[in-house]
């Protein structure tokens, strides 16, 4: 698949073919690398009615972090991978959030230690916010789930803008390769990917997110994404489909996104499905939707075949 998909894109570039987005979409192969999803359990939609981003916990093996969409409390929820129940809550104090859309996890920077949770306040349906925010907190190691909630005002703030305009975004993913993030636009016309790299050198200034590619072959609004812990597997999700790339350790993501077509994985469409994340490794991933029109969302697990 790697050679075949790369060859397609090379041929298209060489001959400058006038290939439509729909034709590129047809070239993408469907794959049975992963099974169809299995329901873990329904989540507590009274507390988490608009689950948006999800990410696997590094320090708490049975947990996935999630949060609500806009107009909700500034709280991170750790939910169980086996029962979907809420195990723990983090209240982030003294922030002004607009539209939390996704969460990712990775190495800490900016004077923090261990693994950090990066919460993307990046939603902008009206395209009015030139400056977007990412809130950064150290992931806690939870030893006693009996104490089910903490509050913290210890966080860092990353502010950024997209170099070519103001766009809505609902997907952010950490990559160790670039020591930073890939951020994806959610646009009616075309879905693009940006990067913020070398965070270890970040000194507090507003960062420019550099555009690296526009996905002419993704026919749908991007709502979520994640890169695996080993940094070699990537998921990008629209409301209708899940796209999957892999790479070797000597390759880089920017070239992969530009030169390799993904495959489309098995997916049972959810109600307002806006969350996707890998599990503890690249052999399992999870999705989560929102409560909509009386349909209670469930955490869904997908295993590699």
Q: What is the pLDDT of residue 96?
A: 79
Lowest-pLDDT range of 20-29, 235-244, 283-292: 20-29
Query: For 118-128, how does the pLDDT look when each residue is reduced to its tens digit (9 = 90+)?
Result: 999 999 888 88
State the pairing for strand pair 298-303/38-42: antiparallel
Q: What is the pLDDT of residue 12?
A: 47
Query: For 227-274, how does the pLDDT look when each residue is reduced to its tens digit (9 = 90+)?
Result: 999 999 999 999 999 999 999 988 999 999 999 999 999 998 898 899
Q: What is the pLDDT of residue 258?
A: 94
pLDDT band at 146 (very low <50, low <70, confident <90, very high): low
Burial class, 96, CB count within 10 angstroms (exposed 0-12 / middle 13-18 / buried 19+): exposed
Q: Please report the domains of the chain, with CATH numbers, ordered by start residue.
A: 2-303 (2.120.10)
Q: What is the pLDDT of residue 25?
A: 61
Strands of the 263-265 sheet, one edge to the other: 222-227, 233-238, 242-246, 263-265
Does residue 67 carry a pLDDT above 90? yes
**Phi/psi at 11 (5° precision):** -60, -45
pTM of the complete model beyond 0.95? no
Q: What is the pLDDT of residue 91?
A: 94
Q: What is the mean pLDDT of residues 133-156?
A: 88
Q: What is the mean pLDDT of residues 117-143?
A: 93
Q: What is the pLDDT of residue 147?
A: 64
* C-alpha of 305 from chain center: 23
Q: What is the pLDDT of residue 24?
A: 58
155, 73 contact by CB (below 8 A): no
Q: What is the pLDDT of residue 133?
A: 95
Q: What is the pLDDT of residue 15?
A: 40
The token pair at 76 is: 């991170």
Query: For 178-218, how does the pLDDT look when each residue is reduced to its tens digit (9 = 90+)?
Result: 999 999 999 878 899 999 999 888 777 899 999 999 998 89
Q: What is the pLDDT of residue 53?
A: 94
What lies within 8 Å, CB to CB, of 194 at 6+ separation is 162, 163, 182, 183, 184, 185, 209, 210, 211, 212
pLDDT band at 111 (very low <50, low <70, confident <90, very high): confident
Does residue 71 carry a pLDDT above 60? yes
Average pLDDT of the residues of the chain: 89
More confident of the two residues 31 and 249: 31
d(CA 145, CA 87): 6
More confident of the two residues 52 and 1: 52
């Amino acid at each position: 698949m790697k050679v075949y998909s790369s060859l397609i894109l090379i041929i298209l570039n060489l001959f400058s073919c006038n290939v439509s987005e729909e034709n590129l979409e047809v070239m993408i192969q469907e794959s049975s690398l992963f099974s169809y999803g299995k329901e873990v359990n329904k989540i507590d939609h009274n507390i988490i009615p608009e689950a948006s981003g999800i990410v696997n916990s590094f320090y708490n093996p049975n947990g996935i972090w999630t949060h609500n969409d806009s107009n909700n409390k500034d709280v991170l929820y750790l939910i169980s991978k086996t029962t979907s129940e809420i195990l723990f809550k983090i209240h982030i104090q003294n922030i002004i959030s607009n539209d939390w859309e996704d969460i990712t996890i990775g190495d800490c920077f900016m004077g923090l230690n261990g693994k950090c949770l990066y919460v993307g306040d990046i939603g902008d349906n009206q395209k009015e916010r030139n400056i977007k925010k990412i809130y950064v907190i150290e992931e806690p190691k939870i030893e006693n789930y009996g104490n089910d909630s903490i509050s913290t005002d210890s966080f860092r703030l990353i502010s950024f803008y997209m170099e070519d305009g103001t766009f809505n975004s609902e997907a952010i993913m950490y990559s160790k390769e670039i020591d930073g993030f890939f951020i994806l636009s959610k646009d009616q016309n075309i879905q693009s990917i940006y990067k913020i790299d070398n965070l270890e050198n970040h000194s507090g200034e507003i960062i420019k997110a550099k555009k690296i590619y526009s996905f002419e072959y993704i026919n749908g609004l991007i709502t979520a994404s994640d890169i695996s812990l080993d940094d070699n597997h990537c998921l990008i999700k629209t409301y209708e489909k899940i796209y999957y790339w892999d790479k070797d350790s000597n390759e880089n993501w920017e070239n992969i996104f530009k030169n390799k077509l993904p495959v489309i994985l098995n997916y049972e469409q959810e109600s307002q499905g806006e969350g996707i994340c890998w599990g503890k490794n690249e052999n399992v991933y999870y999705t989560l939707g929102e409560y909509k029109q009386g349909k209670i969302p469930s955490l869904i697990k997908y295993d590699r075949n």
